[in-house]
Amino acid sequence: MPNWLIWLLLGLLTWAVLAVPIAVALGRALNRSARVDKAEATRGTPLSQTPLRPPLLAGPTSLTRRSGPVKQPRILIVDDDAALRMLLHTTLIADEFEVAEAEDAQRASDLARFWRPAVVVLDVAMPGIDGLSFCAALKQKPVFGAPAVILLTGSDLAEEDAIGAGADALLRKPFSPLELVSMIDRMAGAEDVEMRTDVGEQANEQLLLYARDLGRLLEIERMQRRVVQDAYLGTVAALASALEAKDTGTGLHSLRVCDYAVQLTAAVEPELLSDPSLEYGFLLHDVGKIGVPNELLAKPGPLTADEFDVMQQHTVIGTEILAEVTFLRGEGLNVIRSHHEHWDGTGYPDHLSGLSIPLSARIFAVADAVDAMTGERPYRAPANWEAATSEVIARSGQQFDPEIVSAFLRENEALRRIYDVTGKAA
């Protein structure tokens, strides 16, 4: 393998490792900018909707004063309402906090003394010792370690009374769970995602607020997943182009044949496209050629029988390389291993035939063959689109699944447009 290709592959591998952290860092930077803008726009917001003092300024409540960084900040929930405790516990566990709960101040006192939570979410109206009195004790007695305290109240508690008890923030019931999580993130020194948490007039029950915010959390998760998938896809496309340059001298084949295959899959079995590994498999179908000697890939004449045996190994090599890659498990690996299987059983590497060949591989086999025929190769000139179409028809029932060939003919004009845009440019 030439040195330039080794360095290129190392560079692409480095990019694959760094792509996701870069995307996350960029997202956090944008979030910080959005928080600044929102702070400017919401000056004058009632104190009950914001922390009562700057959260966790330098002092005994800062997590940085503990012995090393805490990966999972400890949160203590104190409320006599068992249903609300369960909702809060579930919410905070899902956000990767370490959570304990208590039904009254006496039990919470024992937990706080020995467990040392970073943040206490504390109800004001409780039997026995009320929340304001317990908040003052948490702040004043060194044995508790002065945790940050968020008071929860369903009454008209004056903010001055909360401040006097030493509370760091006050939330009025019903409150948005995302608002609570965002507030705890700030107090624990984490990067929180800025989001709307305004309590609407109609959302006057805590369960309704949870249902609304669950939808918002799912939306955020989908957005973050798309960022990661886009980073992966860009990295895979670049790697595929580099590998293709090793084989044919152009990086357009992998991208073009992927477009063909996606178009054809949508016509044959659209549900296959819901498998996220499929498109990666289309792009990386020939990744195993990294293990094939350059002189075979660039040979201007026909391969000998021994040389062809070596060439056939690229499907197995590719599968072995990518078998442990999570985002390729599924149809993606089926494409990589089986795209050279033939309908009549004369293909490789497993000599599968008919319906025993994975559908995704049968679809891709047609797309790959069309692009191979219309593309430049060391041993022959490219065929035109019409000739390639005729060849596909001639091999129906032998190399190709007849039903896939029928779909190819139905989609011929759409596929031809892809060729006109990218094929002739190659």
Q: Answer for the pair 38, 192: CB distance below 8 angstroms, yes or no.
A: no
Q: Answer for the pair 262, 273: CB distance below 8 angstroms, yes or no.
A: yes
| Topology annotation, domain 45-199 | Rossmann fold (3.40.50)
pLDDT in tens, 174-226: 777 777 887 887 787 654 434 333 444 444 455 556 555 565 665 665 566 66
Q: Please report, for residues 230, 243, 280, the alpha-carbon distance to residue 255 in angstroms, rounded to integers and kept in the order given.
A: 15, 12, 11
pLDDT reported for residue 223: 65
119-145 mean pLDDT: 92
Three-state helix/strand/coil letters over 194-226: CCCCCCCCCCCCHHHHHHHHHHHHHHHHHHHHH
* Highest mean predicted confidence (pLDDT) among 63-77, 287-301, 396-410: 396-410
**Does 21 have pLDDT greater than 80?**
no
Closest to 192 (Cα-Cα) out of 205, 203, 204, 178: 178
Q: Please report, for residues 11, 225, 244, 276, 326, the alpha-carbon distance to residue 232 in angstroms, rounded to integers and kept in the order given.
A: 15, 11, 18, 11, 12
Q: Answer for the pair 335, 315: CB distance below 8 angstroms, yes or no.
A: no
Count how many residues are written for the chain. 426
Closest to 224 (Cα-Cα) out of 201, 195, 204: 195
420 confidence band (pLDDT: 50, 70, 90): confident
Element (H, E) at 367: helix 359-374
- How would you classify the pairing of strands 74-78 and 98-102? parallel
Element (H, E) at 362: helix 359-374
* Highest mean predicted confidence (pLDDT) among 70-79, 111-120, 175-184, 332-341: 332-341
23-30 mean pLDDT: 45
pTM tops 0.75, yes or no: no
Dist CA 194 CA 314 (whole Å): 48
Residue-range domain boundaries for the chain: 45-199, 248-423
363-370 mean pLDDT: 96
152-159 mean pLDDT: 87
32 confidence band (pLDDT: 50, 70, 90): very low
- Greater confidence (238 vs 317) lies with 317
386-402 mean pLDDT: 96
117 confidence band (pLDDT: 50, 70, 90): very high
pLDDT reported for residue 221: 59
Closest to 338 (Cα-Cα) out of 350, 321, 324, 326: 350
pLDDT reported for residue 64: 31
pLDDT reported for residue 421: 81
Q: For the CA atoms of 186, 192, 198, 203, what is the dihedral angle to 10 degrees?
A: -110
Mean pLDDT of the chain: 76
3-state helix, strand, coil in the chain (%, to 5): 60, 5, 35
Q: How many beta carbons lie within 10 A of that of residue 106, not counting itself?
A: 13
**Does 401 have pLDDT greater than 80?**
yes
Least confident span in 135-139, 229-233, 328-332: 229-233
91-119 mean pLDDT: 86
pLDDT reported for residue 218: 55
pLDDT reported for residue 58: 26
pLDDT reported for residue 226: 63
Query: For the domain bounded by 248-423, which CATH number is listed?
Result: 1.10.3210.10
Task: Kindly give the interhelix angle for 82-94 and 206-247, rounded to the nearest 10 degrees.
Answer: 10
Element (H, E) at 152: strand 148-153
Percent of the chain with pLDDT over 70: 65
Task: Report DSSP letters for 59-106, one per residue.
Answer: STT-GGGSSS--SS-EEEEE-S-HHHHHHHHHHHHHTT-EEEEESSHH
Q: Answer for the pair 220, 192: CB distance below 8 angstroms, yes or no.
A: no
The residues facing 99 across adjacent strands are 75
pLDDT reported for residue 100: 92
**Does 233 have pLDDT greater than 80?**
no
